[in-house]
């Protein structure tokens, strides 16, 4: 039986919450990090890398420390609305992604060096794991969805940086002459990449979708999995995470409420993951 863990986007607070949920589940006897396939988008790419290249408890503990290596930024309703309008318009998908890329470069033409340093502080510079880790991004030169894995010839650090390059907030990331932005420009989770898995569990700090076809529910239908489950922040976690997913000051509280939530849902999730 093939089990897949899908880790969605959600900024600094999303990273912390996801690691908290995973650690709470692990302490309660449900180890989602044992998944055969791990899919990471944006914040989820950070979490996916940490849990496939090192111990979960250490990754969780890091979220409780001062967020000295982070850059503060604002990702609120206005920015999300601008992106949503660009992506939801009628027209060819590739053209819309290219337009997002042009807007992202216009907003942040500077090199992504500072952001690369932030990503390095989160994950280090690990090699690709032997396990099946897939990291999503969007190639805005060609207007193509991209999935990086250990066969792509791209470092994990660069792949995660590309996956976390939120358009209009951070500069796009160039890899080998190609420009990439956040994999969330396609979907907050990209859960349909788990096609073929028998069990799919999704951690989704947000389930916003630019179209019904790319909703988490529709994507899970396309996987063909017999058992699926979506975990999103409960009311207590949502309050701790706040309205700005890129606020480093909320990292610890997001992790701690994630830990609490993971502990609470372990009994419900255990038979699904078994």
Contacts of 114 (CB under 8 A, 6+ apart): 71
The kind and range of the H/E element at 41 are strand 37-41
Q: Say which residue the tokens 């038979």 belong to.
A: 271
139, 182, 192, 247: the catalytic one is: 182
E strands within 131-217?
Answer: 132-139, 144-148, 173-175, 178-182, 199-203
42, 187, 232, 254: the catalytic one is: 42
Q: Catalytic residue at 141?
A: no
CA 49 to chain centroid: 10
- Whether residue 5 contacts residue 39, with contact meaning beta carbons closer than 8 Å, is answered with yes
Distance CA 83, CA 35 (A): 32
The tokens describing 5, both together, are 């863990």
Q: Catalytic residue at 45?
A: no
b/e map 59-83, b = 16+ CB within 10 Å: bbebbeeebeebeebebeeebeeeb
Distance CA 34, CA 30 (A): 9
- Whether residue 210 contacts residue 16, with contact meaning beta carbons closer than 8 Å, is answered with no
Query: Catalytic amino acids?
Result: 42, 182
């Amino acid at each position: 039986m093939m089990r897949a863990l899908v880790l969605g986007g959600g900024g600094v607070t999303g990273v912390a919450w996801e690691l908290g949920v995973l650690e709470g589940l692990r302490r309660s006897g449900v180890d989602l990090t044992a998944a055969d396939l791990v899919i990471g988008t944006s914040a989820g790419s950070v979490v996916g890398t940490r849990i496939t290249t090192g111990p979960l408890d250490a990754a969780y503990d890091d979220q409780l420390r001062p967020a000295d290596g982070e850059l503060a930024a604002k990702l609120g309703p206005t920015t999300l609305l601008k992106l949503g309008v660009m992506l939801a318009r009628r027209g060819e998908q590739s053209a819309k992604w290219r337009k997002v890329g042009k807007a992202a470069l216009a907003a942040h033409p500077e090199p992504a060096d500072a952001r690369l340093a932030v990503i390095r502080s989160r994950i280090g510079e690990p090699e690709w794991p032997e396990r099946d880790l897939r990291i999503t991004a969007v190639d805005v030169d060609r207007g193509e969805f991209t999935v990086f894995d250990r066969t792509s010839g791209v470092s994990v650090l660069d792949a995660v940086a590309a996956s976390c390059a939120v358009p209009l907030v951070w500069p796009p990331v160039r890899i080998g002459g190609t420009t990439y932005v956040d994999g969330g420009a396609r979907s907050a989770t990209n859960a349909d990449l788990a096609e073929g898995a028998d069990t799919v569990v999704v951690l989704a700090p947000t389930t916003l979708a630019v179209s019904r076809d790319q909703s988490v529910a529709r994507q899970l239908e396309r996987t063909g999995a017999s058992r699926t489950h979506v975990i999103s922040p409960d009311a207590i976690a949502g309050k701790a995470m706040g309205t700005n997913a890129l606020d480093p000051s909320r990292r610890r509280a997001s992790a701690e409420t994630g830990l609490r939530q993971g502990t609470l849902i372990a009994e419900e999730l255990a038979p699904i993951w078994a």
